[in-house]
Amino acid sequence: MCNNFNKKFIDEAAKALEDNNLAPAPPTLENEKFMSEAVIAAIKGMDANEGGPFGCVVVKGGKIIGRGNNKVTSTNDPTAHAEVTAIRDACKNLNSFQLDGCTIYTSCEPCPMCLGAIYWARPDKVYYGCNQEDATNIGFDDSFIYKEIPLPDEKRSIPFEQCARDIALEAFQKWEKKENKIEY
């Protein structure tokens, strides 16, 4: 299913590929303010031994509506990255599963999992501080995940294998027929 919202992202991605030679604009005072808040969240979480040195804030209308920091080690949750925890907080505060009209400020370029969560949350824009290379330099290297994504199931370092598709399709078939579903 390619709804209008998904088409918008596909069109924007194609345009971004055409414009890939554009240099980033210098940060505004507002951007620096919110990036500083993301870094403060990272340092507070790290100092409290909650997880790695990553922080994130979600902003709407010039106000922070969601905060998060990495909590992987303190919660034993490998999905508790800063962006995911900030998105959860913002969505809870907005009583919505989407971040329309929001901007995400994250202290580091999102990993593949967080990138997926960001696209599902659909904010208007994302600003990041450190990049993938900076993260790799301190021991957080996601490049192996990017290399795994295009591989066939049987070639991945963690083997993937489809099974019982006919059983699994039942939920999808019921979803298709569901009249009161909330699409996202």
Active-site annotation holds for 83: yes
pLDDT greater than 80 at residue 2: no
pLDDT greater than 70 at residue 4: no
pLDDT greater than 60 at residue 155: yes
What whole-number distance in Å separates Cα of residue 20 and Cα of residue 57? 26
Exactly one of 18, 32, 37, 83 is catalytic; name it: 83
Q: Do 109 and 128 touch, CB atoms closer than 8 A?
A: yes
- Which amino acid makes up residue 87? I
pLDDT greater than 60 at residue 29: yes
Q: Which of 8-17, 29-38, 56-65 has the lowest mean pLDDT?
A: 8-17
Buried b (16+ CB within 10 A) or exposed e, 20-36: eeeeeeeeeeeeeebbe
Model-level pTM?
Answer: 0.86
Question: What percentage of the chain carries pLDDT values higher than 90?
Answer: 85
Q: Do 56 and 67 touch, CB atoms closer than 8 A?
A: yes
